[in-house]
Structure formats: structure tokens, C-alpha cells
Structure 1
């Protein structure tokens, strides 16, 4: 795991926060296999280097295969390795494969909680900065877009597409409650940043005369 933490938004501290959050959720979910859950939490992002090397790679798919292989090679049963791999395969937010097992649902929730609130805003900005993505984009009329319905990546777009309603996508009642506690912090930052950006020149252009000499 430590060898695969190449970016600031998905560093070892993110992994440990996800593990902590997952175990807190698991305490409210009878029947959870904590060994499977812990292994899945620790290994859930090991596929990210493959995705950075090739944007066509889904880190959840790559990580699931890598984790299962790693576990089998280190003495874990094929059944255990398969269950961990299944959790990792379905932990991604933008995925057509929803989590099915209890452990997979808890991993999904814990990972998304760490993408919510002030922490989620900070991690999103770190990641988008590394990817060279802007805070916002402009509409055809020159106004600053709030991100709704935009196709070009930006922080405002990511907030509207993911962060704003993240808590509604979670599977466990404890996970939804934890995400709800963080929602206002992210919303306040987004609204403040949008207001400041628009106050600095929304819909305006620098007058040509400003560039003209005497």
C-alpha cells in the first residue's frame, strides 16, 4: 500500500482515515467481517499508479486484481482474496458495478466520507491541481459557471457532480449520518468561492482602452 501512494489526495493518511471510518461504521453493522474489511481498506487504492500511467485504466479494476494476487501470494486463501478483491472492484464512485457485500458497502461509504466536508474539498483541490484542472470555467457569455451541467473538468463541476450530493449515495445508516455532519462545510466553501470568483469580474472583460498607451 505504501509503495502505491503517489499523489497527495490518495496518500497513506487517506488510507488510514478510510480504515478508521470503516471500522467506526462496522461497529454498527453486525455480521461484518473486519479482516476482509481492513484488508480492503488498506489495499483499495493500490491500482492508482496504473491509472496514472494510463488514463484508460480503472484503478478499482486494476487494484482488485493486484490485491487478490498479492493476498494469495502471501498465504491468504483464494476465498478471502476474492472477497477483498470484490470490495475494491466496487469502491469507485463513478462505477457501473455497485457494491454487494456488507464489507464492500462499508468500504464504499468510508471512502466517500473522506471525500466529503472540508476534507473532501481539500482532497479534490489537491487532485485537480495535480491534474492541471481549473477552479471554474466560463459560460459562452463570459459568466463564471457554477459547474452545473458542465463537461469541462473544474472544481465547481466536481462539487456539483459529486461532493454536493455524496451523502445520498451511501449504503449504511451510520455512513449517511457521518456524511451529513460534513455537508455544510463543503457547501459553505463552494458558495463562498463562487461568490468571490464572480465578484472579481463575472461577465466582464478588461476594457481594451486599458491596454492602450497615452
Structure 2
């Protein structure tokens, strides 16, 4: 069923919704290619369902961006079903694709059940691992005007583990750090583990750099201000 004409129909619909720079068309293609890599080691994979679900998995991003109370996986699942049904695909096919999309989000109560859904989940999460995952997380946080880190009242840069407010460090501790044990497929786990060191190294280096800046600079600043205040009091 997935001939060139069918692929381009689905691809063009996907392209019409890709407006988020961190979840752009290139993210979609990386997820698709990761999924095909994973699928090559699995059995009984419906490639038509998998390819379609990969292409359409983030078409609900715009709705979530406009209303953070919405879930892009839920919105995307509904939009995909309606699009496929309106373009002559069977209800069963549309339902399978929709189910994969609904279960691909990390922050969701829906868990992937079919092999296609598990592959999509893993392929999408691979794109949040390693150097690419760090870059995309910072990029997306910048779009939402989120800071890289937060500073406690006593002037210490938080590592993100106890933060309630969003920041890059908070997202790393909440999601990125523990993601590597959450994959469903052996190949997905392998790819992610190969990328892990790059993410850990970046986070630890950045945390050290900003903490060193605050620690050294704040000490010098305090001495400077205290010295100026003391000099004024002696005038």
C-alpha cells in the first residue's frame, strides 16, 4: 500500500503542520529512519502502519503549543485518524496509526502496546538522547522562553533535581537522565546507550561551568561591594 504516491500524500499533510523548530520535518525523518532501523530486527511489523505513524506522530504539536493544556499525542491521534479516513484508508488502518501516535508521548498514561507503537515510541525517544537530544531540548526551551537553569535564594545554581519550574536542567533531571532505561526494543536501547555519554558529559560540564562562574564571581563581587561600602563609610 505504501507506494510513492501514498507516501507523498501523507508526507505533504505532515509538512503542512510542521511549524515548531525543535519538532520540524527533519525530526520526523530522523524518527522514521530510526524506526526502520529498529524494525529491521523485529518480527511481524506492519511497515505501512509504522511509516504512516512516524510521519504523522507530531502533527498535534501546534494545538499543544497554542494551548499547553492539550496533549499533542491525543490531538495528533485524532487528526491522523480523520485525515486517513477522509483519504480512503480503512478504518482499521486509521485506528492502528492513531493508536501508535496516541502512545508515543513520554508524559502520557497511554503506553504503546503494538510492536509498531513500541517502535515509534523508541524511535522518537532516541531523538531526545545524546547530543541531538540536548540540542533539541535547549532549542525547544528557548522557544518557550524557559531558562537554562535556576538559582536558589542563597545564590547556588540548582542542578534541576528539585526544581518545580521548567528549565533545561530541570528537564534533564526529570526526563533526559532516566530515559535510557525506558525503551521497549533491544535495538532502541542499544542506540540510546551509545549516545548516553555525550548527554551526560554536556550536562555535567555545563553545570560545573555555571556553578564555577557563580561561585568565583559572586565572591569577587561581594568583596568589591563590601569594599566600596566600607570606603564610603570612612569618607
Alignment TM class, shorter chain as reference: over 0.9
SS in 2 for 1:180: helix
The answer to whether structure 1 residue 177 and structure 2 residue 190 are counterparts is yes
Deviation at 1:86, TM superposition (A): 0.2
How many equivalent residue pairs?
214
Structure 1 partner of 2:43: 30
Q: Aligned partners of 2:227, 2:74: CA distance in 1, in Å?
A: 53
Q: Does 1:160 align with 2:173?
A: yes
Give the alignment of 1:47-196 within 5 angstroms: 47-196=60-209
Change (3 A) 1:23 1:211: farther
In 2, the alpha carbon distance for the partners of 1:108 and 1:52 equals 21
| Aligned residue number for residue 52 of structure 2 | 39
For structure 2, the 5+ residue unaligned runs are 1-13
| TM-score (norm: length of structure 2) | 0.87
Is the 2:20–2:62 contact (alpha carbons within 8 Å) kept by the matching residues of 1? no
Distance 1:32 1:64 in 2: 20
Distance 2:42 2:169 in 1: 35
Distance in 1 between residues matched to 2:214 and 2:130, nearest whole Å: 28
8 Å CA contact retained: 2:27, 2:127: yes
Q: Alpha-carbon deviation of 1:6? A: 1.0
TM score, norm. by length of structure 1: 0.96
Q: Give the secondary-structure state (helix, strand or coil) at the position aligned to 1:202.
A: helix
- Does the CA contact (< 8 Å) of 2:150 and 2:158 recur in 1? yes
**Structure label with greater radius of gyration:** 2
Offset, 1:209 = 4.5
Q: CA RMSD in A?
A: 1.6
Which structure carries more helix by proportion? 2
Distance 1:202 1:5, change over 3 A: farther
Q: Return 5+ residue gaps in structure 1 as ranges.
A: none
